[in-house]
Amino acid sequence: MLVIFSFLLIFKGSLLFAAKWSPPRANTPTVKMGIVGTSLNLDVKDIKGEETPIQYRPNSLGRIAVGIEYLGFGAMVGVAPQAAQSNESQFGKTIGVDYQFRFLREQNSFDFFYQKYQGFYILNSKKIDPTIQGEDPYLQRSDLHTEHIGFQYYRTLSPDNFSIAACFDQSGWQKESGGTWFYYGALSQHHIDSDFSLIPTSLTSSYSSIQDFQKGDFTTAKLGIGGAYVWVYNNFYIAGKLIAAFGQQKQNYNLGTEEINRWIPTSGGSAKISLGINGDTYFTSFNLFNDSTDITLNDRQIQFGTLEISWLWGVHF
């Protein structure tokens, strides 16, 4: 028994020695703060790309955020400044919330999220309505309401080479360059609700097959594979990851008097880049994240995209 126990200790020690990253200091938190800009975009488009797309955007500014990582758990909350009156006059008012929680381990990581936005404007309003000029107000939809809730799971296949926690959350330190493949799974629900059709009157003929679309619920389950790599020089690092996923989507929506309830194949992908300096005590990072889910409605498509840009700085205690 003693021999087996000694072997296990030596084996574990060799793994720790071989790892290209090191975990956070025991029983101490990592605290961060910074500026985070998150946008849940909604694009209505022709699958063949022949018609003018309808690009809905929330009028959301960056928020001041504070986060903490401790014992593998992470959370971040933020407060958004009030938009200027002139900004709201041109782009409308958006009320939004965005919560993110993470549970990060050596090989398994979980992300939980909830996004809710009320009030959008159409980014390409001038193309849809040529009478809009200069500083004229964009086409606005204060009635349009969206919600997005779900979780994502990552299983790293080379946990000694690459740490998701260290590279993308600065929870620990990536000491050497390295990469990994990983398995990916996700379950999410998108909800859309509005008082009238999402299709502007001038584009009704182009989107006649979904001209009565106002609301719907879309539940998506996806499995996929991804890759990640980090380049490290002293305390400076550049990390990136890419994911491609495929699955099934349950659709429940109305087109006028017709109610649609069905399952269809779906696909999606995401990408993230992080770069910064992760020192023994202090760190700073710049992060860019993009994720998309496609919703097919007849011969047209709604694409949900999440775009997040952040600049963070913090302390390892």
Beta bridge partners of 310: 36, 287
Sort strands 95-104 and 73-79 into parallel, antiparallel or unpaired.
Answer: antiparallel
Whole-angstrom distance, CA of residue 117 vs CA of residue 94: 7
- 258 and 210 in contact (C-beta within 8 Å)? no
Q: Rounded to 5 degrees, what angle do the CA atoms 109, 80, 98 make?
A: 30
Q: How far apart are the two ends of the chain, measured CA to CA in Å?
A: 38
Give the separation between CA 125 and CA 88, rounded to whole angstroms: 15
How many CB atoms neighbour CB 97 within 10 A? 13
Predicted local distance difference test score (pLDDT) of residue 82: 58
If you ran DSSP here, which 8-state letter would residue 49 be given? S
pLDDT for residue 224: 96
Residue 202: what are its φ and ψ, rounded to 5°? -70, -15
Map out the domains of the chain with their CATH numbers: 2-316 (2.40.128)
Q: What is the per-residue pLDDT for 138?
A: 93
Percent over 90 (pLDDT), the chain: 53
List the chain residues with pLDDT less than 50.
Answer: 1-17
Q: In 3D, which of 256, 263, 286, 292 has the Cα closest to residue 273?
A: 286
Rounded to whole angstroms, the Cα distance separating 90 from 98 reads 24
Per-residue model confidence (pLDDT) at position 61: 63
Tell me, what's the pLDDT at 181?
97
The type of residue at 253 is Y
Query: 313 is written with which tokens?
Result: 């700085």
- The runs of H, that is alpha helices, within the chain are 2-18, 85-91, 125-128, 164-169
Residue 79: per-residue pLDDT: 65
DSSP 116-159: EEEEEEETTHHHH-TT--TTPPPPEEEEEEEEEEEEEEEEES-T
Query: Quick check: pTM over 0.75?
Result: yes
pLDDT at 80: 63
